[in-house]
């Protein structure tokens, strides 16, 4: 247990500052006047790149590495790019993942009471699974080191290592063990999502998955090819419990999955390594709605609840876990009570949602 937990905050671009500020208010309300969290802000992202030529300053990196946890809004703006055409505003998230070895990207997908799914006949509780995205290798490991030859050829390399696969698959089985199983049948199940029928790297992923699975005889296993998986997540989402996949596949499937539970604004994430934890919603900076005050803050708020849980477990500090529990139950109550942003077909602004969540938390304290 610590007296003070240092939280490095990077607001980022687009709706990032809006959802991040909302979330800090919520966390403060959940912990009350004696909160042991100290929030310090650092710059990074596309706007900062436009102003200074730097997308991820070294002092920001050092502060993030030294902090007890990192909270981020969202980064990146279309058109703000490096000479190679890649987005400068994504440097923060991507470099942080690789530099701090945040290998496990845990993305809970859950349909809450009060939120309508675009899938017919699906109600709250019917969708409740985790996408566990490998976050440190795969195709994205090539970022910044791919090749462009004479304006004719471009190459990026997909990298999968035994160590990288083993640790993410082990994490998947541990998450399944702690869970209540799939909504449809209550079975604790890990689904290995790959493209093992086409590429050796994915066949390797699957073979290491099989080896690790032997240590977890209590957990059911299965394989799904990623293209079929896109269909399964629409047709039988209740079947899934924990899905483990390579980095880019996890990225793509997360957006599809988020759409089934109300959209990108409803998708939290926790990016965890052995030493550091990084928390942001799964969505990007949504520049189309930035500055309008209508961004959905629930995904970032739920990510902060995961941050408190992670810190609480890491430091044996039960009051942080209790605060996480309060944020989750108040969030659930607000959604069930119809406090919905525009993306959820409601009319509540970011501020209205933030105030209501904070008021309820204050009342619960």
Residue holding tokens 């190679």? 84
Nearer to ligand ATP, 15 or 272 (CB): 15
Nearest Cα neighbor of 44 from 28, 34, 35, 55 is 55
Does the active-site annotation cover 210? no
Residue 140 CB, shortest distance to ligand ATP, in Å, is 12
- Non-local (6+) Cβ contacts of 355 within 8 A are none
Name the site residues for ligand ATP (rule: CB under 6 A).
15, 19, 76, 255, 264-265, 283-286, 288-289, 295-296, 299, 343
DSSP code, position 162: H
7: helix, strand or coil: strand
- Non-local (6+) Cβ contacts of 289 within 8 A are 15, 295, 342
Residue 314 CB, shortest distance to ligand ATP, in Å, is 27
Residue 82 tokens read as 């490096």
Does the active-site annotation cover 101? no
Nearer to ligand ATP, 273 or 284 (CB): 284
Nearer to ligand ATP, 171 or 283 (CB): 283
Nearer to ligand ATP, 32 or 118 (CB): 118
Find the catalytic residue in 140, 202, 216, 298: 140
Find the catalytic residue in 84, 185, 210, 227: 227
Does the active-site annotation cover 195? yes
Find the catalytic residue in 101, 156, 255, 317: 255
- Output b/e per residue, 349-364; b: 16+ Cβ within 10 A: bbeebbbbbbebbeee
Does the active-site annotation cover 156? no
Residue 283 CB, shortest distance to ligand ATP, in Å, is 3
Residue 223 CB, shortest distance to ligand ATP, in Å, is 27
Measure the CA–CA gap between 150 and 205, rounded to whole angstroms.
33
Residue 246 tokens read as 């390579």
Nearest Cα neighbor of 137 from 190, 202, 227, 68 is 202
Spatial contact of 19 and 289, defined as CB atoms under 8 Å apart: no
Nearer to ligand ATP, 117 or 285 (CB): 285
145-152 contacts: CB < 8 A, separation 24 or more? 148/84
279: helix, strand or coil: strand
Nearest Cα neighbor of 329 from 295, 363, 278 is 363
Residue 284 CB, shortest distance to ligand ATP, in Å, is 2
Nearer to ligand ATP, 122 or 342 (CB): 342
Residue 75 CB, shortest distance to ligand ATP, in Å, is 7
Nearer to ligand ATP, 296 or 303 (CB): 296
Nearest Cα neighbor of 107 from 193, 16, 37 is 193
Q: Residue with CB nearest ligand ATP?
A: 284
Partners of residue 189 on adjacent β-strands: 220
Does the active-site annotation cover 255? yes
Q: DSSP readout, 317-363?
A: -HHHHHHHHHHHHHHHHHHHTT---GGGT----HHHHHHHHHHHHHH
Find the catalytic residue in 68, 194, 251, 309: 251
Residue 182 CB, shortest distance to ligand ATP, in Å, is 26
Question: Which residues are marked as active site?
Answer: 140, 195, 227, 251, 255
């Amino acid at each position: 247990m610590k007296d003070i937990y240092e939280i490095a905050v990077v607001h980022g671009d687009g709706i990032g500052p809006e959802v991040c500020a909302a979330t800090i208010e919520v966390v403060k309300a959940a912990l009350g006047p004696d909160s042991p969290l100290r929030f310090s802000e650092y710059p990074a992202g596309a706007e900062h790149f436009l102003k200074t030529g730097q997308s991820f300053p070294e002092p920001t990196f050092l502060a993030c590495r030294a902090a007890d946890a990192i909270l981020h809004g969202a980064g990146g703006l279309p058109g703000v790019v490096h000479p190679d055409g890649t987005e400068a505003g994504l440097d923060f998230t991507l470099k942080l993942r690789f530099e701090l070895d945040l290998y496990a990207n845990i993305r809970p997908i859950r349909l809450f009471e009060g939120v309508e799914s675009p899938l017919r006949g699906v109600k709250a509780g019917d969708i409740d699974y985790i996408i566990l995205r490998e976050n440190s290798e795969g195709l994205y490991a090539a970022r910044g080191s791919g090749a462009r030859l004479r304006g004719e050829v471009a190459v990026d390399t997909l990298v999968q290592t035994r160590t990288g696969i083993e640790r993410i698959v082990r994490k998947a089985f541990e998450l399944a063990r702690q869970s209540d199983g799939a909504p449809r049948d209550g079975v604790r199940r890990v689904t290995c999502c790959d493209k093992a029928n086409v590429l050796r790297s994915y066949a390797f992923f699957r073979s290491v998955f099989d080896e690790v699975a032997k240590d977890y005889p209590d957990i059911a296993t299965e394989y799904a090819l990623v293209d079929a998986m896109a269909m399964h997540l629409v047709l039988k989402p209740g079947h899934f419990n924990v899905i483990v996949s390579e980095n880019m596949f996890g990225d793509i499937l997360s957006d599809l999955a988020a759409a089934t539970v109300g959209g990108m604004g409803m998708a939290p994430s926790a990016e965890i390594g052995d030493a550091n934890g990084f928390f942001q919603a799964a969505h990007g900076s949504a520049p189309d709605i930035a500055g309008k005050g209508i961004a959905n803050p629930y995904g970032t708020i739920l990510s902060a609840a995961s941050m408190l849980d992670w810190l609480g477990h890491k430091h044996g500090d039960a009051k942080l876990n209790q605060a996480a529990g309060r944020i989750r139950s108040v969030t659930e109550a607000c959604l069930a009570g119809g406090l919905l942003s525009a993306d959820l077909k409601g009319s509540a602004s970011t501020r209205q949602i933030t105030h209501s969540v904070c008021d309820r938390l204050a009342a619960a304290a």
